[in-house]
Amino acid sequence: MNAVFYIAAAVAVISTVMVITRLNAIHALLYLIISLLAVAVIFFTLGAAFAAALEVITYAGAIMVLFVFVIMLLNLGPQATAQESQWLSPKSWIGPAILALVLVGELVFIIARGELRAPAAGPVEPRQVGVALYGPYLLGVELASMLLLAGMVGAYHLGREWGMENSRQGDGATGRQGEERLNI
């Protein structure tokens, strides 16, 4: 189990270094997803299965998809097709693919050995986490829901203005003042 931890940690550090040194945003995003998956494997070896599942579903799934959407929106232009053909070349995805294969190998190794126990103090079951969340931390859960609501309303507000500005560009109206748009 220790070897699995060390290999996953190495994969996480390598892919994170690649994230902050890439020039292309999509390449960096591929490495960032690998980094998050490696941290999920580390959670699994620590006996935190609930955190590992959340990491894969929410971080590597939902949040990274948001990044991909925004980067694709930003790249709308005549050079988009040229970039598309460049992204499909093997040298842009071979690095993340190799690191992902390492993680898959670790996962197969863990499942094949049937050893799901944490090395130190025993796993923390999802049941314990749920009881703690809706017991002593109930107020925190409510606050998190309020935070998510505020984030959703804020993102909707900013994104809606962006769309309206696009449709108004035809008549040359460049209302830069926020107050104007708030009155619409």
Partner 1 sequence: MEYGLLLAGTLFALGLIGVLVRRDIVFILMSLEIMLNATGLAFVTAGARWAQADGQVMYFFILSMAAAEVAVGLALVLRLRRQFKTLDADAASRMHG
Distance, in Å, from the CA atom of 65 to the CA atom of 183, rounded to the nearest integer, reads: 33
State yes or no: residue 173 binds partner 1 (CB under 8 A): no
> Using CB under 8 A, which of 7, 16, 92, 109 touches partner 1?
16
State yes or no: residue 47 binds partner 1 (CB under 8 A): yes
> Using CB under 8 A, which of 67, 107, 109, 168 touches partner 1?
67
Q: Which is nearer to partner 1, 41 or 100 (CB)?
A: 41
H or E stretch at 50 = helix 49-54
Residue 114, classed as helix, strand or coil, is coil
State yes or no: residue 34 binds partner 1 (CB under 8 A): no
State yes or no: residue 124 binds partner 1 (CB under 8 A): yes
Q: Which is nearer to partner 1, 32 or 100 (CB)?
A: 32
Instruction: Kindly give, in sequence order, each residue whose CB lies less than 8 Å from that of residue 13, ignoring residues fewer than 6 positions away.
Output: none
State yes or no: residue 41 binds partner 1 (CB under 8 A): no
Amino acid 184 reads I
> Using CB under 8 A, which of 7, 19, 107, 110 touches partner 1?
19
State yes or no: residue 112 binds partner 1 (CB under 8 A): no
State yes or no: residue 53 binds partner 1 (CB under 8 A): no
Residues 120-127: contacts with CB under 8 Å, at least 24 apart: 120/47, 121/47, 122/47, 123/47, 123/48, 123/49, 124/47, 124/48, 124/50, 125/49, 125/50, 126/49, 126/50
Q: Which is nearer to partner 1, 76 or 112 (CB)?
A: 76
